[in-house]
Structure 1
Amino acid sequence: MVGCAACGAINRVPASRLSADGKCGRCGKALHDGEPAVLTMENFAALAERSDVPLLVDFWAPWCGPCRQMAPAFSAATAQLEPALRLAKLNTEAEQGLAQRFGIQSIPTLVILHKSRVIARQSGAMPTTAIVAWAQKALSHRGVTNL
């Protein structure tokens, strides 16, 4: 099951076709477009609760210098981690309820979620290589080895 960031639909995608250029059955948009999804209250359930693919969320804010500095590194990590791990950005100013739900007190903060459960959490800006290594290590400790 893979959630669509555009419309929130859940799509059944066989594991063997997860890396293919799949499109949402409802809206027709790409399920993985090489860029982090924009996480909102509207698509949160599809991406973080109902999807079988773990979700790496970058909690950030437009006024945060380290967040802006890390943005290109997070985008670059998408190419290395998707489709086995979905990446998304959550603007803590626009989605304060979700930021509070996960107890975000400093930004940038990266959180890996699977079925709404926190798998790992890391605060502070990181380069692409560190993001990828941290995510792979966190998931391997939880038994997720498809990265």
Structure 2
Amino acid sequence: MTATTLTLVCPSCQSINRVPAARLAAGPRCGSCHAPLFDGHPAEVDAAGFNRHVQHDQIPVLADLWAPWCGPCRAMAPTFVQAAVRLEPHFRLIKLNADNAPEILAKFGVRSIPTLLLFRNGAPIGQTAGAMPLEQILQWAQSHAGAPA
């Protein structure tokens, strides 16, 4: 892709879309299912969806690895939604239930949850564990990705 066109995975149907970078803030929709590519909420993904977003999204991907039985994970969930409102469309935020993806945890050496993983162009560029307040999530993501929020 050129610097002016980005590939983005649709959080609804997993199709890969080409979007002009200048149109990111204009509410782009999927060419296949017509769902919004950004809706102010983290996309809930399985291991395959996690890998698809990490490999194909040409914006930073911020992943929350969590579990439904984890108190700090549940406490941070609304904050991660607020982060999506603030960081999209310059970041893709995804949530992965750690109980359903042990291979992802093993691959990235995740030992506790919640864990945030940050990727750019398929490569990990940041990892941190523990629940964080909104401003700390935003600052951490921006500083590691070097992108505006």
TM-score, structure 2 normalization: 0.90
Match of 1:84 among 81, 90, 94: 90
Shift of 1:75: 0.6
1:9-30 CA distances to partner (integer Å, 9 max, x unpaired)? 1100001001111111111111
- Alignment partner of 1:40 is 2:46: yes
| Cα distance in 2 between the residues matched to 1:69 and 1:45 | 26
In structure 1, the partner of 2:107 is 101
Query: Greater strand share, 1 or 2?
Result: 2
In structure 2, the partner of 1:2 is 8
Correspondence 1:53-92 to 2 at 5 A: 53-92=59-98
AA aligned opposite 1:44: F
| Cα distance in 2 between the residues matched to 1:100 and 1:6 | 26
| Cα distance in 2 between the residues matched to 1:12 and 1:88 | 19
What RMSD, in angstroms, separates the aligned Cα atoms of the two structures? 1.2
Shift of 1:43: 2.0
Match of 1:22 among 12, 16, 28: 28
TM-score, structure 1 normalization: 0.91
Match of 2:142 among 127, 136, 141: 136
1:74-112 CA distances to partner (integer Å, 9 max, x unpaired)? 110111111101111110012222222222110011010
| Cα distance in 2 between the residues matched to 1:127 and 1:55 | 19
**Unmatched 5+ stretches in structure 2:** 1-6
**Unmatched 5+ stretches in structure 1:** none
The answer to whether the Cα contact below 8 Å between 2:118 and 2:125 also exists between their aligned partners in 1 is: yes
AA aligned opposite 1:135: A
Secondary structure of 2:75's match? Answer: helix
Identity, in percent, stands at: 43
In structure 1, the partner of 2:128 is 122
The number of equivalent residue pairs is 143
